[in-house]
Amino acid sequence: MTVIPGADRPVDRRTVLRVAGLSAGAGVVVAATRPGVASAASASVFQHGVASGDPLPGGILLWTRVTPTPDSVPGSGAGPAVTLDWQVAADPSFATVVASGQVHTGPDRDHTARVDVAGLTPATTYWYRFGLGGAWSGTGRTMTAPATDAAISRLRMGVVSCANWEAGYFAAYRHLAERGDLNLVVHLGDYIYEYGTGEFDAGGTVVRRTEPTHEIVTLADYRTRHARYKTDPDLQALHASIPWIITWDDHEVANNMWSGGAENHTPGTEGAFGARVAAARQAYAEWMPVRLAADGHIYRRLRYGNLFELSMLDLRTYRSKQSNGTDVDDPSRTIAGTDQLQWLIDGLNSSTARWKIVGNPVMIARVDLATLPAWLLGPLAKLLGIPENGIVLNADQWDGYNADRERLVDSLRAHHTGNVVFLTGDIHTSWASELTTKDTGTKNPAAAEFVVPSVTSDNLNDFLHTSPGGPLSLLAADLIRATNPHVKWTELDGHGYGVFEVTTDRCRMDWYHLADRTRRDSATRWVAGWSVGTGSSKIRKESAPAAARKRRTSPSA
């Protein structure tokens, strides 16, 4: 079996990753050559970086955006149609180009370009770039997936969600890009936010102004907002370093979106909701390195050898309107939609991979808030979508759609499907939980769930206007765990990211929190680790990784 080394081991900068196609027992390391930086002239043409996504055993999706003339600004509809060159090479100097071609783009797709490259070797590191008129973009590095039957014993990924431009800098992305031991990034949604400037920031402070400054509604608005995000150097660095697997949540369109509307949409002044969704989805398809189906759906499944399958969900497009608190058990209400839920159930039950991992935009574990005090319910209501009338229910998450959750869990139990892990974002806080229902009970959970914090978006202490890690937040976490025995750990203040490692015998999530989201140079620290072993959905606490322990005890740490 092949193994990807731990974060505590040095990485050979000259070694090329090959996760499959090697003899059993062979060791490999992640290629750590940093992606190239474009020259000043090239940077003016390729202002938004390069990216790759959705790795397949023989292919990868490549992305860029070109600015061929000064007036070809995002969202303008101006500028000429152009033809870009693209190259994929086996080395960062492009001495051995293994695939190349041309791709056309223009104002009709906001001068973005996507190339779905096929015919590559599984489990191999490649370098890629785009060119226009002799100017080449910065170099991106990507990795194909291993063959579907390859014997893989370890893989590590970064897990992120909820990156609000006005609430801070994307230092979390920088720290992930600098690690050098990751194979991919999983982004669970809220890649952008739709609000106007000052409407959702850092606890009342705008750290950096977004563009456009008004709430985005039109196609030009969404294009401009995506472009703003992709000018961030740390976001560009992480996109250029490793492939991403992404899905959307609500803020890629509007807050608390459902199939027929959203909390943050007013038809009388903002037009038909369907038109807004179409504009947001078009911009997303143009600006993101993701494969969408012919009908536009984003839920899909990717496999990494025999180690795991990753099912990425869309929990916004097909859902019923959020509950009013009296109909959460109504079997006609759905969070996933009939087709997607059946696709998920069938895929999990039939998978031959050791681990079944679900990219889950909103929390699936129960959160019972019945005994929590009023001072806590107010701020948590903002985070968790609890109705202001005091009903203690998270109506925006799976808690508001009990029938779908029961169908999923009942099917997993009926088919004896184990080794299921949900990776979740959305609520800006950190959780390690076991998935239980009224039928499974706390002694027999159906799956594990690990929730990562926001990259920058406000969380509990920001809503309470208290210092991070203060007594109120600590008390809140204690109360949640006391009310919910299946919640083994939660931290309600930190911003940052997760690092998720999959091995043959366990899945482990480590949480890293930033010292200060408002500083681009913010340090980070390890705060917790939890794992689940094969054959069991019970989770257990882990000690810090060796590298984190070393940094913590270093005089310069």
Q: Is the pLDDT of residue 122 over 70?
A: yes
Whole-number percent of the chain with pLDDT over 90: 76
Joined together, the tokens standing for residue 446 give 């159906």
- Predicted local confidence at residue 186, as pLDDT: 98
Q: Are 3 and 305 in contact (CB under 8 A)?
A: no
Nearest to 153 by CA among 308, 300, 356: 308
User: How does pLDDT run across 269-313, given as a tens digit for each residue?
Assistant: 999 999 999 999 999 999 999 999 999 999 999 999 999 999 999
Phi, psi of 273, rounded to the nearest 5 degrees? -65, -35
Nearest to 280 by CA among 353, 202, 191, 187: 191
Type of residue at 289: P
Q: Are 162 and 425 in contact (CB under 8 A)?
A: yes
Please compute the mean of the pLDDT values over residues 115-124 and round it to a whole number. Answer: 98
User: How does pLDDT run across 205-222, given as a tens digit for each residue?
Assistant: 999 999 999 999 999 999
Statement to judge: residues 333 and 430 lie in one domain: yes
Please compute the mean of the pLDDT values over residues 490-511 and round it to a whole number. Answer: 97
Q: Are 61 and 53 in contact (CB under 8 A)?
A: yes
Statement to judge: residues 412 and 333 lie in one domain: yes
Domain contains 32? no
Global pTM value? 0.90
Statement to judge: residues 105 and 192 lie in one domain: no
Q: Whole-angstrom Cα distance, residue 59 to residue 62?
A: 10
Q: Are 488 and 403 in contact (CB under 8 A)?
A: no
Confidence class for position 242, pLDDT limits 50, 70, 90: very high
**Domain containing residue 258: CATH number:** 3.60.21.70
Total domains, the chain = 2
Nearest to 528 by CA among 504, 480, 493, 485: 493
Statement to judge: residues 136 and 186 lie in one domain: no
Domain contains 6? no
Verify cis geometry, omega within 30 degrees of 0, for the bond prior to 212.
yes
Statement to judge: residues 306 and 334 lie in one domain: yes
Statement to judge: residues 129 and 182 lie in one domain: no
Statement to judge: residues 304 and 435 lie in one domain: yes
Statement to judge: residues 436 and 542 lie in one domain: yes
- State which H helix or E strand residue 105 sits in: strand 97-105
Statement to judge: residues 195 and 282 lie in one domain: yes
Q: For the chain, percent helix, then strand, then coil, each to nearest 5?
A: 25, 25, 50
**Domain containing residue 116: CATH number:** 2.60.40.380
Question: Of 118, 145, 172, which residue is a domain's last?
Answer: 145
Question: Of 145, 169, 185, which residue is a domain's last?
Answer: 145
Confidence class for position 483, pLDDT limits 50, 70, 90: confident
- Strand partners for 2: 152
Domain contains 516? yes
Statement to judge: residues 410 and 357 lie in one domain: yes
Statement to judge: residues 155 and 295 lie in one domain: yes
Joined together, the tokens standing for residue 353 give 């991979």
User: How does pLDDT run across 420-429, given as a tens digit for each residue?
Assistant: 999 999 999 9
Nearest to 188 by CA among 10, 296, 312, 306: 312
Residue 111 sits in which domain range? 39-145
- Predicted local confidence at residue 443, as pLDDT: 75
Q: Is the pLDDT of residue 464 over 90?
A: no
Q: Is the pLDDT of residue 147 over 80?
A: yes
Confidence class for position 113, pLDDT limits 50, 70, 90: very high
Domain contains 21? no
Q: Is the pLDDT of residue 329 over 70?
A: yes
Statement to judge: residues 192 and 290 lie in one domain: yes
Domain contains 47? yes
- State which H helix or E strand residue 525 sits in: strand 524-533
Question: Of 145, 160, 181, which residue is a domain's last?
Answer: 145
- State which H helix or E strand residue 141 sits in: strand 140-143
Confidence class for position 10, pLDDT limits 50, 70, 90: very low
User: How does pLDDT run across 80-102, given as a tens digit for each residue?
Assistant: 999 999 999 999 999 999 999 99
Q: Is the pLDDT of residue 20 over 70?
A: no
Total Cβ atoms within 10 A of residue 314 = 20
Domain contains 324? yes
Domain contains 29? no
Q: Is the pLDDT of residue 470 over 90?
A: no
User: How does pLDDT run across 515-531, given as a tens digit for each residue?
Assistant: 999 999 999 999 999 99
Domain contains 221? yes
